[in-house]
């Protein structure tokens, strides 16, 4: 097995650190350009009506791309300088370029979405388009669609299962899922950049742990992307943390989601990566009734500020009882019984009204803890993210024996 390429990793680390400083400086420097371009929002949970620049993910994303463009020849330097490689590793090179193409395209389409305010169906289409080069590269480089069947299913499906085209569907969906899962766990200062920061930090730790394993090259590849991502996002997080002086925009959610999907797919550890997404998965599942409009879904589901106490409380969805389908009624009753949903019922005039809290993980935390200050709430959400990662490591390194032979 090849030795750990220390020099490329060190160079990558240094470039990432520089990129972090650059992002830190560039974000305030371009503030006026964004305001003039009307790319700003009002912080709905603040009493002031200051214009906050939006879509700052485009800045951290561009710095990320510049770092990666300059880094492209570095892993292959030993081939040119010392001629220490037996034939140029073209397939690794292709992988690197193909991954960058998917990420670059995603940042572009994400920024176009922020600017042009495209519709929800586009939010599913854009990541699919951007992951096309990834799928094509995978097809030409590996083409492997055989998976190892988890132990509980082996009697039924056998040891190995060739998913064929379903494997590509899975890869395409992974990008769609990751981007949108980050996008919907949102609404309080610093949560989007914060969650991505901690997920990438977890992946970096996982990659470092696996450097001594059998799949070293895959994890080195992942580190080449995760290090610049972590450091540029760190700079963005600094400006996005409470109280936010900038918002990250859908651009950042797209960028983060695609970068995670890329390293998960090409590093062959997508299942482990999804374990780091446990809070996002929980939020997604809990949100499903509203996402499918089985339970009515308002425009914004973020927590509401109580201007008197200065704390955030749950936000609510109010609708007429007769507008609710049978399935909707069932979901409300089950969720209320499981104590994961608060439901209020009342009468206004001739109509019976029902109110339930918006079905987001943030609201669920507020239900349990009661009204909380925004900064504390984000801190708690990020702690949940860390706990989720700890749980993920536990599953990956211990419970995994229940599913696979290691």
| DSSP β-bridge partners for residue 356 | 317, 343
Determine, following the binding rule CB under 8 A, whether residue 98 of this chain makes contact with a copy of itself. yes
Determine, following the binding rule CB under 8 A, whether residue 64 of this chain makes contact with a copy of itself. no
CA–CA separation, 13 and 23 (whole Å): 15
Determine, following the binding rule CB under 8 A, whether residue 109 of this chain makes contact with a copy of itself. yes
Determine, following the binding rule CB under 8 A, whether residue 266 of this chain makes contact with a copy of itself. no
- Contacts (Cβ under 8 Å, ≥6 apart) of 195: 182, 185, 279, 280, 381, 382, 385
**Strand pairing of 160-162 and 146-148?**
antiparallel
Minimum Å gap between C-beta 79 and a copy of itself is: 8
Instruction: Give CA torsion, residues 234, 236, 242, 246, to 10 deg.
Output: 180
Determine, following the binding rule CB under 8 A, whether residue 281 of this chain makes contact with a copy of itself. no
Among residues 14, 94, 166, 209, the one that binds a copy of itself under rule CB under 8 A: 94
Q: Which residues from 177-206 bind a copy of itself, rule CB under 8 A?
A: none
Query: Smaller CB distance to a copy of itself: residue 61 or 279?
Result: 61
Stretch that binds a copy of itself, among 132-140, 192-200, 365-373, 386-394 (CB under 8 A): 132-140
The reply to whether omega before 243 is within 30° of 0 (cis) is yes
**Strand pairing of 40-42 and 51-53?**
antiparallel
CA–CA separation, 4 and 211 (whole Å): 8
Contact 185, 288 (CB under 8 A): no
Query: Smaller CB distance to a copy of itself: residue 66 or 147?
Result: 66
Q: Which residues from 317-336 bind a copy of itself, rule CB under 8 A?
A: none
Among residues 4, 44, 97, 146, the one that binds a copy of itself under rule CB under 8 A: 97
Query: Smaller CB distance to a copy of itself: residue 88 or 404?
Result: 88
Stretch that binds a copy of itself, among 127-135, 207-215, 348-356, 364-372 (CB under 8 A): 127-135
Site for a copy of itself (CB under 8 A): how many residues?
Answer: 45
CA–CA separation, 57 and 255 (whole Å): 8
Determine, following the binding rule CB under 8 A, whether residue 132 of this chain makes contact with a copy of itself. yes
Query: Smaller CB distance to a copy of itself: residue 50 or 90?
Result: 90
Determine, following the binding rule CB under 8 A, whether residue 255 of this chain makes contact with a copy of itself. no
Among residues 27, 52, 107, 256, the one that binds a copy of itself under rule CB under 8 A: 107
Stretch that binds a copy of itself, among 131-139, 173-181, 229-237, 333-341 (CB under 8 A): 131-139
Q: What's the maximum distance between 2 C-alpha atoms anywhere in the chain?
A: 84
Token pair listed for 301: 């589901």
Minimum Å gap between C-beta 120 and a copy of itself is: 14
Determine, following the binding rule CB under 8 A, whether residue 85 of this chain makes contact with a copy of itself. no
Determine, following the binding rule CB under 8 A, whether residue 168 of this chain makes contact with a copy of itself. no
Determine, following the binding rule CB under 8 A, whether residue 124 of this chain makes contact with a copy of itself. no
Minimum Å gap between C-beta 289 and a copy of itself is: 30
Minimum Å gap between C-beta 93 and a copy of itself is: 6
* CB burial string 113-138: b at 16+ within 10 A, e below: bbbeeeeeeebeebbeebbebbbebb
Among residues 50, 140, 160, 320, the one that binds a copy of itself under rule CB under 8 A: 140
Stretch that binds a copy of itself, among 1-9, 91-99, 263-271, 391-399 (CB under 8 A): 91-99
CA–CA separation, 339 and 260 (whole Å): 33
Q: Which residues bind a copy of itself (CB under 8 A)?
A: 30, 33-34, 36-39, 58, 62, 65-66, 69-70, 72-73, 76, 80, 88, 90-91, 93-94, 97-98, 100-101, 104-105, 107-109, 111-112, 115-118, 129, 132-133, 136-137, 139-140, 143
């Amino acid at each position: 097995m090849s030795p750990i390429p220390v020099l490329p990793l060190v160079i990558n680390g240094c470039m990432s650190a520089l990129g972090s400083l650059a992002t830190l400086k560039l974000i305030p420097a371009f503030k006026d350009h964004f305001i003039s371009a009307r790319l700003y929002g009002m912080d709905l949970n603040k009493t002031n009506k200051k214009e906050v620049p939006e879509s700052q993910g485009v800045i951290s994303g561009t710095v990320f791309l510049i770092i990666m463009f300059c880094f492209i020849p570095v892993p292959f330097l030993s081939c040119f300088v010392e001629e220490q490689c037996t034939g140029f590793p073209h397939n690794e090179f292709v992988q690197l370029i193909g991954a960058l193409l998917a990420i670059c395209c995603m940042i572009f389409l994400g920024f176009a979405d922020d600017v042009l305010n495209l519709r929800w169906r586009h939010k599913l289409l854009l990541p699919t388009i951007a992951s096309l080069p990834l799928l094509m590269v995978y097809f030409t480089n590996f083409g492997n669609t055989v998976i190892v069947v988890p132990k509980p299913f082996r009697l039924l499906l056998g040891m190995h299962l060739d998913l064929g085209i379903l494997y590509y569907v899975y890869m395409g969906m992974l990008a769609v899922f990751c981007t949108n899962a980050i996008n919907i766990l949102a609404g309080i200062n610093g949560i989007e950049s914060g969650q991505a920061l901690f997920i990438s930090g977890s992946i970096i730790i996982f990659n470092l742990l696996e450097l001594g394993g059998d799949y070293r090259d895959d994890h080195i590849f992942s580190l080449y992307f995760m290090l610049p991502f972590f450091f540029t996002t760190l700079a963005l997080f600094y400006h996005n943390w409470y109280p936010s002086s900038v918002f990250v925009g859908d651009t950042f959610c797209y960028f983060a989601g695609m970068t995670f999907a890329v390293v998960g797919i090409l590093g062959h550890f997508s299942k482990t990566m999804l374990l780091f997404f446990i809070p996002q998965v929980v939020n997604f599942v809990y949100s499903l009734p509203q996402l499918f409009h089985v339970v009515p879904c308002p425009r914004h589901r973020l927590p509401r500020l109580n201007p008197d106490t200065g704390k955030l409380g749950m936000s609510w969805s109010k609708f007429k009882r007769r507008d609710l389908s049978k399935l909707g009624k069932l979901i409300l009753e089950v969720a209320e019984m499981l104590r994961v949903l608060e439901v209020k019922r009342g009468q206004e005039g001739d109509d019976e009204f029902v109110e339930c809290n918006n079905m987001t993980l943030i609201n669920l935390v507020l239900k349990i803890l009661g009204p909380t200050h925004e900064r504390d709430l984000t801190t708690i959400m990020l702690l949940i993210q860390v706990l989720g990662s700890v749980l993920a490591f536990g599953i990956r390194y211990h419970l995994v024996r229940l599913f696979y032979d290691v």
